[in-house]
Structure 1
Amino acid sequence: MRLHAEDYKAAPAELVYQFYKRLLKEWELQLADRTRAEASSADGQAATRLFEQTAGFMKPLLDKCKYNVLDETILGHVLQMVLLQLERRYRDAGSHYMSLSIGHAPWPVGVGSFGIHERASRTKIRADNISHIMNDEEQRKFITSLKAMMTFCQKQYPPELTSNMVR
Structure 2
Amino acid sequence: MLRIRQARPEDHTEISVLVVTTFGQNNEHRLIEALRAAGAVTLELVALLEDRIVGHVCFSRFDVPPGWWVLAPVSVTTAYQNRGIGSELVRYGLDQARQQRAGAVVVVGNPDYYRRFGFVFDGPAHLSSPYPAQYTGLYPIAPETAAAAVALRYPAAFEEA
Task: Tell me the TM-score normalised to structure 2 length.
Answer: 0.31
Larger radius of gyration: 1
Q: Identify, as 1 or 2, the structure richer in helix.
A: 1
Normalized per residue, which structure has more strand?
2
TM-score, with structure 1 as normaliser: 0.31
